[in-house]
Structure 1
Amino acid sequence: MKPSLPLLALCLGLAGAPAAATSFEFVPAPQTDLNRMYRVDKVTGEVTSCQYGLQESAGGIGQTVCFGPGEGAGAQAPSEYGLVASRHTREAGVFRVNYRTGEMSICFVLVKKEQVVCTQQAKPGAEASSDAPLTGPAPGRAGASATPAQGGRF
């Protein structure tokens, strides 16, 4: 029996639905005594956070306390973003990474301002405060290698 074209289109449409539904990524803060979870929009890079908070008037159940995006944590240029927690057990922040460009920033909660803030995105190896060129010999090297080329005639 041949499947009908409308049935085939419906099946293909349903197969792609879960991919569209995964627009956020969630990562807990690495600090072991903190119950904070970070969320990033995987397309815009916007970072928010929520944690558990005590609330006496709620009958002892508590409440979810959320922090919106503050300085640097708002939407970035559209790309493919994710969150990575370090393994440092006393670190309350997480890294926002751009998987397409390799840029990273550190995001954390400023409790007094009740918002998530992130440092400026930077690429590893690029020094933002230095005027030195990004090419040339590695620091501490004299330049060209003193070792002759391998596989050639001397």
Structure 2
Amino acid sequence: MRLVGSARYLSMALVLGALASPVLAAPYDFVPAPQNDLNRIYRIDRVTGEVTSCQYGLQEGTIGVTLCFSGGEGAGAQTPGEYGLVASRHEREGGVFRVNYRTGEMSICYVFDERVVCTPQTSPSPTAAASAPAPAATPSVRPGTGASPQRP
């Protein structure tokens, strides 16, 4: 009977451990720069939004070095939130977008003068969005003809 009780405590501990895992999750996310000939990785603190970066560098007589760039202007801690990094699909872009998933604000972060710098966090203002022209209507599809657009 004692063995059954121990098994119950073990299974409860496993369940509680699984529930606690998001709390114990790593506080950082990592994203490579989209530039296809640049070996740079950006790191963001998910709560503070602080951004840093590292890349591989050649050094004669060694296997190489890891070059890291600390946060400069705008890359330091922001208002606490839920931050992440998003790389564009632009193959020559060396920077990444810092996004705040709670507010929708974004900024661009990149390495400049051996420091990571970021533009100020911003998002479109509600008035700018309301005054923006409506998107063009998408072409309608003629029934029974597949995806051919209908010409007006």
Provide the TM-score with structure 1 as the length reference.
0.74
Match of 1:106 in 2: 108
Q: Percent identity?
A: 60
Counterpart CA distance in 2 for 1:136 and 1:17 is 40
Aligned-residue offset at 1:56: 0.6
1:138 aligns with 2:138: no
Counterpart CA distance in 2 for 1:92 and 1:102 is 22
Match of 1:148 in 2: none
Counterpart CA distance in 2 for 1:70 and 1:10 is 43
Q: 1:137 to 1:94 in 2, by over 3 A?
A: closer
Match of 1:116 in 2: 116
For 1:26-73, what per-residue CA distance to the aligned partner results, in whole angstroms no more than 9, with x for missing partners? Answer: 100000110000010001100000000001132xx1011000011100
1:68 aligns with 2:61: no
* Counterpart among 43, 46, 54 of residue 50 in structure 2: 46
**Coordinate RMSD, CA, aligned:** 2.4
Aligned-residue offset at 1:4: 6.3
State the AA in 2 paired with 1:27. V
Structure 1 segments unaligned to the other structure (5+ residues):
127-132, 142-154
Q: 1:77 to 1:31 in 2, by over 3 A?
A: same
Provide the TM-score with structure 2 as the length reference.
0.75
Aligned-residue offset at 1:15: 1.3
Aligned-residue offset at 1:23: 1.1
